Structures are given as structure tokens and as C-alpha cells.
Amino acid sequence: MANTQAMATSFKGELLNAYHNFSATNPARTINTADTFKAALYLATATYNATTTAYAATGEVSGTGYTAGGVNVGTWNAPTTSGTTGFTTPTASITYTTVTLTTAFDAVLIYNNSQTNRAVSVHTFGSQTVTAGTFTLTMPTNNSTSALIRLA
Amino acid sequence: MAMVVTTKGEMDESLLEKKEGTVDNDHEITRWTEYWHEGELVHRSVHVHLKKNVFAAGVAAMIA
């Protein structure tokens, strides 16, 4: 059992049903407030992957300074396209400040807190622990080849 | 004097042993910093830079 990096398959269908709004300005609709996305950390023993449909507490890390459900992702770069690829990335790092997480974790689930916690994507990294410290996830460059979320 | 948040409260960095490490591979760049006090890990921070994204390929089917 392990976490696997993937875009949630359910997310792809939900895009077609306009569940997710990453942009504060949505020219196609009168919704000018972006949804709130959150980032939850998961233990290396958990099993989050493309079949994940929503945030769940099962397998989530726990420890001093960490709140179940994780932290807000913040704003996203306005979704755009280049060539045949659409993409977006959070505008800032995701940071868990002064936490103690002593059981190894290796994945973060991005999910839409405004839409009943529907899953967006799972991102994996080398297994880590944190002791009275800060865990920071720095985002890749927001372009058509590196952005965190890409559709092509 | 730099102070470090530890499991024992804020401590002067000069009293601690500092260890640092980096992992750089196709998937991520990870940097970690540890502070030890009398053989005990009292602080560990981790900074992960994600290199790989998630990707969905779109397919427009032919209308036969």
C-alpha cells in the first residue's frame, strides 16, 4: 500500500460539470470568487491516488500544531493556456508552521473545500518527519510543462 | 544570537548541533535541517520543492 501521485479521476469529470473554480475572475460565469482549496498531509502507509474522490481523515497525519484537514492552499495563478496545454499552480508555497509529525508521511492531497472537499490531486515526495519545525511545499514553475495542474 | 524553536522551547542555536541534508532527484528537491541537543533530536524542518506535476490528457473523439 502506498500513495501514488495522480490527478483525481473524479476531478476530470467534475471539471466538465464546473465544480471547480481556481480563478477569482471567471469570465464565463458570474462567479468572481475562487473556491477555497486545502492541502492535507498523509502517512506513507496510506493509499491515496487517482481513485481518491474527496478529502478523508483516514491515514492523515496527526501531531502537535497540525489541524485535521490541513491548511489553505491560498490563491492560484489565473488558469491559462500555452500551446495545447491548460495549467495553473498555487501562487505561493504551502506551509505547515511549527508542527511535530513523528510518523512518516509522503503525500499531500489538494482538495476543494468549497465543493464538499472534492479531490483535485495527490502529490508525493520522499518520506518525511517534522519535529517542532516547519514543513514547506514549494510549487513548480507555473508554465505549460511544469505547472502543478496541467490539462493537455 | 539566533534562537531555534525546539521540543524544549526556544533554544540558542549555539547550544545545538546542526545537521543539514539535501535530496535532489527527478521528482523533488528536498532540504532538511535538524538540531540536536545532547543526542536528542529537538528540531527538524523540511522544505520540499515539487518538480513533477499531475497531468490529464484530453482527447477529442472523431465523429463518425
β-strand partners of B54: A149
Query: What is the model's pLDDT at position B59?
Result: 76
- Cα separation, A6 vs A76, in Å, equals 19
Nearest alpha carbon to residue B29 among A86, A141, A9: A141
Sign of CA dihedral A121, B31, A100, A1: positive
Cell matching residue A79: 488558469
Sequence-distant contacts of B15-23: CB under 8 A, at least 24 apart: B16/B42, B16/B43, B23/A126
CB B3 within 8 A of CB A132: no
Of A122, A129, A152, the CB nearest to B58: A152
- A146 to B57: CB separation less than 8 angstroms, yes or no: no
Judged by CB atoms closer than 8 Å, whether chains meet at A140 and B52 is answered as: yes
Q: Do A138 and B41 touch (CB under 8 A)?
A: no
| Antiparallel, parallel or unpaired: β A149-151 and B54-56 | parallel
Q: Which of A100, A121, A125 sits opposite B54 (nearest CB)?
A: A121
Q: Who among B41, B47, B49 is closest to A131 (CB)?
A: B41
* Interface ipTM: 0.90
What confidence score (pLDDT) does residue A25 get?
77
CB contact under 8 A, A135 and B46: yes
The contact set of A with B (CB < 8 A) is: 5-7, 12, 87, 89, 98, 100, 121-126, 128-140, 146-152
Task: Read off the pLDDT band of B11 (50, 70, 90).
Answer: very high
User: C-alpha cell of A61?
Assistant: 497525519
Flag whether pLDDT at B58 surpasses 90: no
Q: Indicate yes or no: CB of A7 within 8 angstroms of CB of B56.
A: yes
pTM, entire model: 0.94
pLDDT averaged over 10-residue windows placed end to end, chain A, 152 residues: 93 92 78 91 97 98 98 95 94 97 97 97 96 96 93 90
Number of Cβ atoms within 10 Å of the Cβ of B39: 6
Query: For position B62, what pLDDT does the model report?
Result: 81
Q: Does A147 sit within 8 Å of B53, measured CB to CB?
A: yes
pLDDT of res. A27: 67
Inter-chain residue contact B54 with A150, CB threshold 8 Å? yes
Residue A15, classed as helix, strand or coil, is: helix
By Cβ distance, the residue of B27, B43, B47 closest to A138 is: B47
Question: A42: Cβ–Cβ under 8 A, 6 or more apart, which residues?
Answer: A3, A48, A59, A60, A61, A105, A106, A107, A108, A109
